[in-house]
């Protein structure tokens, strides 16, 4: 006990304060709203081959009319090459109101690789995605979605915890 300040501190009080801080900290944590969709077991390359088309976006919650009738798709071929039309650029910090004007198109090779991890507070699981390697443009990687084929793709836009994304389905 610290008599000079009139404050009584014991181990039970310290444990209680620590528990309250832990609970409040967990409530303040953000969470990617798409995390439950992400692929956490590495798929075989043949299982992700196909054409993925934009089916929704959460940036503007629109009917996709901002694309002005333009296509948005990724074609992953069995020979390891791809074609992508109107996908996000690499390193996009935060999408702005004119986001759809900055989409890129390109071709090159694709590969499945770890794209990060999702953590539920007790354990962490590897997230799998597709990197689109092009000699001409720097395209953003896409996170794979689903537990088995047919998989989907999500391009997270800016901070994943904000939930802004382009969602493509096969």
**What is the pLDDT confidence band of residue 165, given thresholds at 50, 70 and 90?**
confident
141 versus 95: which is more confidently predicted? 141
Q: State percent of the chain over pLDDT 70.
A: 72
Mean pLDDT calculated for residue range 79-88:
95
Q: State percent of the chain over pLDDT 90.
A: 46
Mean pLDDT calculated for residue range 21-47:
73
- Per-domain residue ranges for the chain? 35-169
Using alpha carbons only, give the angle 19, 14, 24 rounded to the nearest 5 degrees.
25
Mean pLDDT calculated for residue range 94-123:
84
Mean pLDDT calculated for residue range 144-168:
88
Averaged pLDDT score across all residues of the chain: 80
What confidence score (pLDDT) does residue 32 get?
Answer: 79
Q: Is it true that the peptide bond before 150 is cis, omega within 30 degrees of 0?
A: yes
pLDDT digits (tens, 9 = 90+) for 62-76: 555 556 667 889 999
Mean pLDDT calculated for residue range 11-39:
60
Cα-Cα-Cα-Cα dihedral of 151, 152, 154, 155, to 10°?
Answer: 100
What confidence score (pLDDT) does residue 10 get?
Answer: 63
What confidence score (pLDDT) does residue 83 get?
Answer: 98
Least confident of 12-16, 87-91, 103-107, 148-152: 12-16
What confidence score (pLDDT) does residue 58 get?
Answer: 77
How far apart CA 99 and CA 113 sit, in angstroms, is 26
Strands 124-133 and 81-87: unpaired
């Amino acid at each position: 006990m610290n008599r000079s300040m009139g404050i009584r501190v014991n181990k039970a009080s310290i444990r209680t304060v620590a528990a309250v801080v832990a609970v409040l900290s967990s409530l303040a944590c953000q969470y990617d709203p798409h995390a439950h969709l992400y692929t956490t077991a590495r798929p075989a390359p043949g299982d992700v081959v196909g054409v993925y088309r934009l089916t929704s976006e959460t940036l503007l919650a629109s009917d996709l009319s901002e694309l002005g009738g333009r296509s948005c798709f990724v074609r992953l071929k069995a020979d390891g090459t791809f074609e992508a039309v109107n996908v996000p650029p690499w390193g996009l910090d935060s999408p702005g109101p004119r986001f759809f004007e900055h989409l890129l198109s390109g071709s090159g090779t694709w590969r499945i690789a770890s794209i990060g991890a999702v953590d539920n507070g007790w354990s962490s699981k590897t997230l799998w995605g597709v990197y689109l390697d092009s000699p001409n443009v720097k395209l953003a990687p896409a996170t794979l979605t689903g537990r088995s084929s047919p998989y989907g793709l999500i391009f997270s836009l800016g901070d994943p915890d904000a939930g802004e994304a382009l969602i493509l389905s096969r």
